[in-house]
Chains A and B, each alone.
Chain A
Amino acid sequence: DTEVTQTPKHLVMGMTNKKSLKCEQHMGHRAMYWYKQKAKKPPELMFVYSYEKLSINESVPSRFSPECPNSSLLNLHLHALQPEDSALYLCASSQGLTASSYNEQFFGPGTRLTVL
């Protein structure tokens, strides 16, 4: 299984809602990532988990709250978002964060989020 899955595919939410994005991989990867991507722009790194511990937080607002319940799952909890948070949210995983020669990132299909 070389797939990263993300649910839901599309999400529309109001600014007062609480919702969660889910990401799952069964490749035995120990590093998982959340990216935010605006149209026609490159992905922007938000969070990195390594061995289920938060390794990198790229100064993301607290209305985004990541969670890694186990090595296969990564959640992104959303609360009180703003319309400018509308974007494609991509999850990715890689074997790890150590300096191995490859460590390709496998990406999921993304969740298209619209905040009204």
Chain B
Amino acid sequence: AQKITQTQPGMFVQEKEAVTLDCTYDTSDPSYGLFWYKQPSSGEMIFLIYQGSYDQQNATEGRYSLNFQKARKSANLVISASQLGDSAMYFCAMREVTNTGNQFYFGTGTSLTVIP
């Protein structure tokens, strides 16, 4: 089974509008972390936001917020007031505890295009 599922290969959003990128995950580990990364065409993976499994409140970082629904095992990224510079690939990732320590899993990514 896929550990991280991103069902939107590509998304378009109008500049200044909000957009939600979907992410669902699968784990039986009670202690896990969820991450979102942005990867522009230059290639660098840029950390955006983190949600711990025990965090009571949804994480927010500036224009980024994470809609964490633990029972549904979803961790959607919401970008408010989209900017042209937000056009990039977005990866959802999960850190899970394994016998050898932490293991990271990445989703297949969502390509976001912001339209002027």
Enumerate chain A interface residues (CB-CB to B < 8 A): 31, 33, 37, 40-43, 45, 48, 50, 55-56, 88, 90, 92, 94, 96-99, 101-110, 112
Contacts and interface: CB of A to CB of B under 8 A. Distances in A.
A42 B106 contact: yes
A109 B106 contact: no
19 contacts: A40-B111, A42-B91, A50-B101, A92-B45, A96-B101, A97-B100, A98-B102, A99-B31, A99-B97, A101-B31, A101-B33, A102-B50, A104-B50, A107-B44, A107-B46, A107-B47, A109-B42, A109-B43, A110-B43
A86 to B, nearest CB: 14
Interface of B: 31, 33, 35, 37, 42-47, 50, 52, 54, 89, 91, 95, 97, 100-104, 106-109, 111
Contacts of A112: 43
Nearest to A95: B102
Contact of B102 (A40, A94, A108): A94
B97 A40 contact: no
Q: Is the interface of B mostly helix, strand, loop or mixed?
A: strand
A98 B31 CA distance: 12
A52 B47 CA distance: 24
Contact of A107 (B45, B102, B107, B109): B45
A43 B95 CA distance: 14
Contact of B104 (A41, A96, A105, A106): A105
